[in-house]
């Protein structure tokens, strides 16, 4: 089981923002911004490159969930960033697709 599956199963405590049939969202333990939330599909897709055509609807739901959570966090007016890491050199540390929702401060470009 991935770390995120264990969190969803209640084996590991987390600061959950959302937990429904398709999406798990939680606050990152090592936040890189005042708001740093991970938006995760309940079904394991190891990374974006492993997604299939049949995952299209779920991928769309993840983006819409990220948008809804950003609004709930008050970021819809000031702005936010969504990041998906793919592979170790991109910073992927858990082999379970997830979106980083970052906001609450100015975010520089390019990211470091």
Taking a C-beta distance cutoff of 8 angstroms, is the pair 53, 14 a contact?
Answer: no
Candidates 36, 86, 96, 98; catalytic one: 98
Residue burial 16-50, b: 16+ Cβ < 10 Å; e: rest:
ebbeeeebbbbebeeeebebbbbbbbeeebebbee
- 98 in active site: yes
> How many residues in the chain?
112
Active site residues: 98
């Amino acid at each position: 089981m991935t770390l995120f599956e264990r969190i969803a199963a209640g084996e590991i405590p987390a600061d959950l923002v959302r937990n429904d049939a398709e999406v798990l969202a939680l606050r990152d333990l090592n936040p890189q911004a005042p708001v740093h939330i991970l938006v995760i599909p309940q079904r394991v897709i190891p990374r974006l490159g492993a997604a299939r055509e049949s995952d299209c609807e779920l991928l769309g739901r993840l983006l819409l969930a990220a948008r809804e959570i950003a609004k709930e966090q008050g970021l819809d007016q000031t702005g936010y960033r969504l990041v998906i890491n793919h592979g170790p050199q991109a910073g992927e540390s858990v082999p379970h697709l997830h979106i980083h929702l970052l906001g609450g401060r100015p975010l520089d470009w390019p990211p470091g």
